[in-house]
Homo-oligomer: A and B are copies of this chain.
Amino acid sequence: MSRRDFLSKSGLLASASYPAMIALGLLKSAPAHAFNLEKKGNGKKVIILGAGLAGLASAYELTKLGYECTILEARERTGGRCWSIKNGSSHLEHDKPLVSAKFDEGLYFNAGPSRIPHNHELTLHYCKELGVPIQVYNNVNESTYFFAEGKGALSNKKVRNREIHNDIRGYMAEMLSKTMDSNLDSALTKEDGQKIIEYLMAEGGLDVDKLYKASARRGYIESPGAGNKPGIITDPYKLADIIKSGLMDPDFYNVAEYTYELQMTMFQAVGGMDKIAQAFEKKVAPMLKLNAEVLAIDNTTEGVKIIYKDKTGEHELQGDLCICTLPLPVLSNVKNNFSSEVNRAIDFIEYNKTGKIGLQFKRRFWEEDEHIYGGITHTNNELTQIFYPSYDYLSKKGILIGYYNFNEKAALVSDLSYAEREKLALQKGRLIHPQYDKEFESSLSVSWHKTKYSMGGWAVYNTETRKNSYPAMLKPDGNIYFAGEHLTYLNAWMAGALESARSVVTDIHARTTESRLKYPTQTKG
């Protein structure tokens, strides 16, 4: 009997730790991930509540480390808010009947997250590791519109982003260049001042007299072309008109584009953002229970006990540890024996109200007629934003996100029926795109704060809740860990769910093995 036969027969080989195998001379040296496998078979059972990105990523990473996971998911699909609505997708809001999307094959819109910042390394890391192809999400587009309904001289006029951006840049540069000489900071030399003026002239597109007049940057009445077509440029709007129409207000002037997360380059998963969830799902399919709604979560002396119901009735599941990724507005209605500190945090941490509507059109008129390829139109009315699709450019049909609104506007819209929401989106949308009338085909709308098993857009902290509620949920309550975008400083982002999952997996692994995980170092922003 060879040493290998002995080991195999005695079952040692199957479960042998790498160090043991090395000691026995079966392996020359520890492979790169030996530290993980060494811990395999520590027998720990982890119950994961929720198969959104946090739950899926937790299960995926824990499985790599040799834990036994079970994922309970109330919906009949994974992904949670990471959801791309396509033909046949069904949607349930708590005060409305079930609806189902009727879209053409191949068309979709991302009801939840629709953008991956280039600096969210972990999201991109998983796209790469799981083989999810990505493409540019075109967040910045100078060709989209500002539309001020019923306000000022530019009221109800489609004004291109490029027009307002360049007019404001021009006027501000003009104003500052006029006062530069007399107002130069003491830390700057006269020569510095001259450089700033040169910069302002370039930045603002000023003429030799340092005045902002007209600029090709804001577009043409007639485009330049062949022969005798130098192009005819447009006159700027008056600054007073821009101001009085509210186009320098936060509704419009999109400083959001400057924020770290929304700076170009941005990405999306090809074919819908939920391809990311689906890629995780493939890896953890055997441990996944769909249609399993959690009713109670209890710490026990030995571990955890979960009560859930599925189509066949109520069930009890026991485990050593639990990771609870349920959104807090959902969790607050689940029976539990959490500490009062945790229960207070669950009640106090707020979630936002937000909604989107997907509108399918027969024809990509925004591309064909208006040269808008991706990007966002901003309005001061209920629509707030229109998102143009960043995929399948130049193809025949497409789905616009007809509104993407928040807070009061989202609350107002969410109280409407699906038919009324569609009507509103079309009514307001056709003020900008009269093509709506002729080209519209079908819609589906989602109000996240009314959506069963989500009940909110994402966690929104204020100074008070970040200080007094947040910390309570960062540590385990007995054997129960909490994870999700709500337990990060990356609220609303997929990266939050993923970072939180890794953080909790690291904590669990440290507790069960006394060795902290070292994920590959993330580089700096």
Contacts and interface: CB of A to CB of B under 8 A. Distances in A.
Contacts of A260: 162, 216-220
Q: Sort A-B residue pairs by CB-CB distance and give the 10 closest, nearest first.
A: A224-B489, A142-B263, A226-B503, A220-B525, A136-B136, A226-B499, A219-B525, A199-B248, A226-B500, A265-B373
A247 to B, nearest CB: 10
A240 B489 contact: no
Contacts of A110: none
Determine which residue in A217, A240, A369 has the highest number of CB atoms from chain B within 10 A of its CB, and name it.
A217
B265 A221 contact: no
Contacts of A488: 224-227, 229
Interface in A453-501: 474, 483, 487-490, 496, 499-500
A253 interface: yes
Contacts of A141: 118, 264-265
A208 interface: no
A196 B523 contact: no
Interface residues of A, number: 98
A525 B142 CA distance: 11
Interface in A502-523: 502-504, 522-523
Interface in A356-409: 369-375, 390, 393-394
A341 to B, nearest CB: 16
24 contacts: A118-B143, A118-B373, A138-B264, A140-B140, A141-B264, A141-B265, A166-B258, A172-B172, A175-B185, A178-B183, A185-B239, A189-B240, A199-B249, A202-B250, A202-B253, A203-B253, A203-B255, A216-B259, A217-B259, A217-B263, A220-B524, A224-B488, A225-B489, A227-B500
A94 interface: no
A227 B504 CA distance: 9
